[in-house]
Amino acid sequence: MKWNYRKKTALVTGASSGIGEVFAHELAKKGCNLILVARTQERLEQLARVLEEMYTINAVVIPMDLGRFDAAGRIAQEVSNLGLSVDILINNAGFGTLGRFNDIPQSRLIQEIQLNIGSLTELTHLFIGGMCERKDGVIVSVASMTAFQPTPFMAVYGATKAYILSFTEALWAEYRESGVRIVALCPGETKSSFHAVSGTECLNSKRMEPIEVVNAAFDAVEKDRSSRIVGINNNVMALLSRFLPRRVIINVTKNIFQPALENKQISADQ
């Protein structure tokens, strides 16, 4: 059955750029009111004004660093204060770090785990109950192609995305009869600010447009899929990771990321 987005309220994390910003536009286009979450208040407020003018919807902003341990609870409290309920949760916010594990500051690794896993899990826990009561809801959690194999030189990032895939597919099975549609979205490299933040600008690969990723998510929701890999080549790569020896896959991944790390180090030394 086709899911009706009109007049629903969607909370989008990481809404200020990239995939999150495109999600916000496409949900507004479908008639959703929006709760936009990201760190930068000015950018969120600008986006909210644009979306309200373009699509005649309501958009509120909650500036928040989801790397904080209390972020999810503070967001839920603000949603309650606004008298809103969340019908659609887009768990998009996340970041990675390219580097040798022992060279990355421990504080950054902890923040990465908190943002990618902790806040995502807490937000899902805080809002899924209301969706179940209404027998209606959508949760899309953005994983990655790194969810399918360990990722040398981005070890923590890859592990967090493997968690998101496993966690989300488990919830899909748990809540399939509840009226809540739950999808793990697995894009490959996508044009966004992620590469500047993670240090992976030097990766030599074709990057998808964010709209491709977002459209794949909507299609997966309509088909009640537990997960969606975006792109034909990425589907092939995911299949190879299941059939080739794990050692081979890990070494292939290492050979992809190691040149980017070396180029990053050269740039830093210049």
What does each C-alpha distance from 25 to 15, 28, 49, 50 come to in angstroms? 10, 5, 12, 9
The predicted pLDDT at position 83 comes to 97
pLDDT (0 to 100) of residue 201: 55
| CA nearest neighbour of 144 among 154, 130, 132 | 154
CA distance 158 to 146: 5
pLDDT at 268: 46
Please tell me the distance from the alpha carbon of residue 61 to that of residue 45, in angstroms, as a whole number. 6
- What amino acid occupies position 8? K
Q: Which residues are catalytic?
A: 157
What domains, with CATH codes, occur in the chain?
9-269 (3.40.50.720)
Question: pLDDT per residue over 185-225, tens digit each?
Answer: 999 887 755 544 444 455 556 778 999 999 999 999 999 99
Q: What is the DSSP annotation of 126-145? A: HHHHHHHHHT-EEEEEE--G
Which residues of the chain are modeled with pLDDT < 70? 1, 192-205, 264-270
Q: From its phi and psi, is residue 31 left (phi > 0), alpha (psi between -120 and 50) or beta?
A: left
β-bridge mates for residue 59, sequence order? 34
Helical (H) or strand (E) element with 29: helix 18-29
